[in-house]
Chains A and B, each alone.
Chain A
Amino acid sequence: MAVHGWFSTPIYIHDFEGEDYEIIQQELIEVVNQLDFDHNSLFKDAFGKSTHKLNIEGFGQSILHKYNCGYFLKYLDIHLIEYLNQIGSQETPYLLKESWFTETNKGEYAHQHDHGAFDVSGVYYVNSNGEDGNFYLKNVLSHLSSNYIYDKVIDPMEIPPKNGRLLLWPGLIPHGTKINQTDNRRISLSFNLQFLRDGFTFKNANTT
């Protein structure tokens, strides 16, 4: 007898350690120290005061490019290639279109949301005590739960935060974070990227 798992969703996890970790942390913490954070107005109106803060530049731009975070972008490129390789895909140019820092203080959380049209979304934890709000991904098959079998396998996936942890996932998956119930000011970096579509060229694409 065997039960085989078919049609899984591949998400990518990597914990940076050693010199790589030190280099990335130094680069990103320098940026964070220059930033101001607030409750994005659209964000707050829609989701209430318990939602987390963003660097004031918000969405629609890349804080990584604005502050020339070359080390992180280089490491991200390496792991994006690894992600594609491990799912059997070919290397494809991509554009990291958005990146921003998130500040999550005690009592705050990220409401469930998705990044729709982006191919890959990701997060990197800059400052976490490991207990300041797990990240979760909603099961994309939850709408099939009227079937008895699917009803048994629709749990969400929770992943604890950890300094140096990189997560990559298909951007359409609904996700969020649990409430930060500690006094730690959790800082994480979020980003969205898109792969080149047939018929287009990117002027400033990364090339994997």
Chain B
Amino acid sequence: MTTEWKPEGNIQPLWATPIYQNIAKDEEFDIIQEELLSVISRLKFGEAKGWGPNSHSLSEKPFDSNCLYDNDCTNTLKFMHRCIMEYLRYLDATPVPYIISNAWITKTTKGKFAYSHSHGFSDISGVYYINTNGEDGNLMLENVHDAFAGNYIYNAIGRIGGRVPAPLCNGILLMWPSNIRHQTQENTTDNDRFSLSFNINFNNFLPGNLANEAWDCNVEGKDFYEKSF
């Protein structure tokens, strides 16, 4: 994607980080909700060791499993696939095979939140809101320019947009580059917020001259991976 110079106006906002947002609606929302609420009813949740007393709870083996593949969440995967392709189209990126390397459910009860962290080595990270009242703790993406705050201009824009609260509503899907640090605000309500989190990796060597060097998909869910292309 090329940043084009726009001769109108004084301020040219360069090099924005593209953040994807979509919302499942109507029948699609209903079947995704039914699918994921069914998964939640079968999962056990626990707090990760060493994450602090106020950290949210996670489904079992959150980073070594994929609750979408494990529970055959076809409707959710179809919605996500459409969103991922839209994200790539916006970037003028050639669609390449991807794998949802892990997916888990997060449970955030009153007084809990997610500490600042990133999913560094993945390409895309994302969240889908299953049960929120809209006031139980927004996702906050941290400004990727924080290290430039010694410059007056960067510091100035950091003050007004350093941590941007993302929208919070049932059915919203958000995706962002995985290396962006993020956190959630404390849930100060009595609602138990449930959300789906996931990481995505692309097979960067397809298509093209290096096709023979392509990665092999070695996680469960390979069938869906192969059907996608």
Residues of A with Cβ closer than 8 Å to B?
Answer: 1-15, 79, 82-84, 86-89, 92, 117, 119-120, 137, 139-141, 144, 147-150, 152-155, 157-159, 169-172, 194-195
Given contacts A1-B20, A119-B151, 4 further A-B contacts (CB under 8 A): A9-B145, A88-B159, A148-B124, A152-B91
Judge whether A3 and B10 touch: CB under 8 Å: no
Nearest CB in chain B: distance from A76 CB, A: 14
A-contacting residues, B110-136, CB 8 Å: 123-124
B137 interfacial by beta-carbon distance below 8 Å: no
Q: List, in ascending order, chain B residues with CB within 8 A of A3's CB.
A: 18-21, 86-87, 90
Judge whether A152 and B93 touch: CB under 8 Å: yes
B178 interfacial by beta-carbon distance below 8 Å: yes
Chain B contributes a number of interface residues (CB within 8 A of A) equal to 50
Judge whether B15 and A141 touch: CB under 8 Å: yes
Q: List, in ascending order, chain A residues with CB within 8 A of B20's CB.
A: 1-3
Asked if A157 meets B14 with Cβ closer than 8 Å, knowing A10-B153, A87-B157, the reply is yes
User: Which of B1-9, B68-76, B190-198 lies at the interface with chain A?
Assistant: B1-9
B143 interfacial by beta-carbon distance below 8 Å: yes
Judge whether A84 and B156 touch: CB under 8 Å: yes
> A15–B8 Cα gap in the complex (Å)?
10
Q: List, in ascending order, chain A residues with CB within 8 A of B160's CB.
A: 87-88
Asked if A158 meets B157 with Cβ closer than 8 Å, knowing A5-B13, A144-B177, A148-B202, the reply is no
Judge whether A9 and B15 touch: CB under 8 Å: yes
A-contacting residues, B1-45, CB 8 Å: 1-3, 5, 7, 9-22
